[in-house]
Amino acid sequence: MVSGATEPPEVTVEEIQTVDDDHFNEDAVAIVTGGGSGIGRATTIALAHNGLTVVATDVDEEGLAETVEKARACDAAENVETVTADLVNEDDIASMVEAAAELGDLRYVANIAGLQHISPIEEFPTAKFDELLDVMLRGPFLVTKHAIPHIRATDDGVGAIGNMASIHSHIATQDKVAYMSAKFGLRGLTQSIAAEGEGTLRSFSVSTGYVKTPLVTNQIPDTAEERGISEQEVVEDVMLGESRVKEMMAPIDVANLFTFGFSKRARHLNGGDLTFEGGHLYTY
């Protein structure tokens, strides 16, 4: 059972959810932020495999190159373009969105990039607070702001903005004040887009518990050592202690939610949250 606990799984073609949707073709463009790692990488591959042209963007250029390599293994690399951009910089964001819009009909945005900083409120560095808010709230707002005119300019105005939230956009824990401030805010952004989207331009958020990405799996061996417990106990008791499902989600499980959320099958999902957290929020 412990096997694989500390390694983020690779995406395989068999796990990719495909949806038959007239808009899922290479004329339609999707932007995926955080495309150089973890959930953003899996989402890039999943959407490209569904036939969309995907602009994977990240501040990590090497990570983006690796995403293209991984997409190749899923026969999806030819649909992936990469743009290096820093989400704290509005000029970078504006150029990235323009580059995406030149590739076809920009219809979809997956705001996924993120980072964490752990510290009690009274010691939380203000610059770190600003950075987390910039990347995870102001960044998604700016990508959305620059993308909306392009989505509205398509022949039918159909499109969607999907925002990667978290259980920490519903409940709070200690020492993650910036993360929760950003993620709670992201749900406000999501609902604001729905309020202004006139039904064809939709929005949704995705809230999960722990997902097996480098961000999380890198912590497992250290936590096991610190607490003197096994890696399996870290996963089941510490990370998934409040969850009924004692298995971490894989990045592709999250990516599949973005594919569904963008598709016509989710045309009544607007402003809502895809809460996939193993029962953490709904049981006790």
Query: Which residues of this protein are in contact with ligand NAD, per CB under 6 A?
Result: 34, 36-40, 58-60, 63, 86-88, 112-115, 135-136, 164, 166, 208, 210-211, 213-216
| Residue 29 CB, nearest approach to ligand NAD (Å) | 18
CB 269 within 8 A of CB 158: no
Q: Which is nearer to ligand NAD, 51 or 162 (CB)?
A: 162
Q: Which is nearer to ligand NAD, 16 or 135 (CB)?
A: 135
CB 33 within 8 A of CB 139: yes
Q: Which is nearer to ligand NAD, 10 or 60 (CB)?
A: 60
| Residue 45 CB, nearest approach to ligand NAD (Å) | 13
| Residue 152 CB, nearest approach to ligand NAD (Å) | 25
| Residue 233 CB, nearest approach to ligand NAD (Å) | 18
Using DSSP, state whether 25 is helix, strand or coil. coil
| Residue 8 CB, nearest approach to ligand NAD (Å) | 8
CB 80 within 8 A of CB 71: yes
Joined tokens for residue 247: 């298995």
| Residue 50 CB, nearest approach to ligand NAD (Å) | 19
DSSP state letter for 27? T
Distance from chain centroid for Cα 222:
25
Joined tokens for residue 279: 């029962």
Q: Which amino acid is at 70?
A: K
Q: Which is nearer to ligand NAD, 100 or 113 (CB)?
A: 113
Closest by Cα among 133, 113, 239 to 176:
133
Rounded to 5 degrees, what angle do the CA atoms 69, 72, 73 make? 100
| Residue 210 CB, nearest approach to ligand NAD (Å) | 4
Q: Which is nearer to ligand NAD, 87 or 220 (CB)?
A: 87
Q: Which is nearer to ligand NAD, 55 or 113 (CB)?
A: 113
What is the b/e burial string over 166-188, where b = at least 16 CB atoms within 10 angstroms of the residue's CB?
Answer: bbbbbeeeeebbbbbbbbbbbbe
> For the chain, how are helix, strand and coil distributed in percent, rounded to 5?
45, 15, 35
Q: Which is nearer to ligand NAD, 137 or 158 (CB)?
A: 137
Parallel, antiparallel, or unpaired for β 28-33 and 53-58?
A: parallel
